[in-house]
Homo-oligomer: A and B are copies of this chain.
Amino acid sequence: MTEHQEARRGRGERAGLSRQQILDAALGLVDRDGIKGLTMRSLGQELGVEAMTLYHYVPNKDALLDGLVEQVFTAATPTMDGPADWRTALHAYATALREGLLRHPAVLPLATSRPAVTPATLDDLEALLRLLTTGGFPLGRALHALNSLTVFVIGHATAEARIVVGAEEAGGTDWLATLDAERYPLLIRAANERAGTDDAERFAFALDALLLGFDALRSG
């Protein structure tokens, strides 16, 4: 289902594009065909336009990918509105960020090598910092807590997304069950019981642990 099929366009004839339209189309393409499915050519085709046309809105492909990451993060960062306890706020922030990121799993590998803070998410960061500092955290510690939490959420979401992708080709972790029973009793028991495989459960566990730890280290 390519976007526009409105006949052939001549040399100077406008298609009415915008940077935002291009980012939207690119995101859709990545969601559908994966990272490797996004080329300047395929994206142009998706928009009914030649590849070189895109360079009028984006300096190069890397900048396009940056835009994609920014787009996903902006959409995934929840709005921290009501006054709340810092614990509740961080919990909600982390949970919502994870869910938002998992909506575009193919973009996540890009996110780890590109800046995560975007102008659009500054308000939420400031709000969270205010909650933390009024909750007793020195500013440096508040930043550490916030950054650690964000890094963890991104890392966890990326790992989760990898499992989905890898499942089609690697067959998951079934090979674990074929190990030497004498040498790896716990790993084998874990594989047989499917222990520790629930992603959401692991995330909740680690999130609780982090928040408990933050509380204990708030000032010390």
Q: A residues engaging B (CB < 8 A)?
A: 108-109, 112-115, 117, 122-123, 125-126, 129-130, 133, 139-145, 147-148, 151-152, 154-156, 158-159, 162, 165-166, 170, 173, 179, 183-187, 189-190, 193, 195-196, 201-202, 205-206, 208-214, 216-217
Contacts and interface: CB of A to CB of B under 8 A. Distances in A.
Copies in the complex: 2
B140 A195 contact: yes
Given A115-B166, A139-B196, A148-B156, A216 B205 contact: no
Nearest to A209: B213
A186 B133 contact: yes
Secondary structure dominating the interface of A = helix
B210 A143 contact: no
Contacts of A125: 187
B126 A205 contact: no
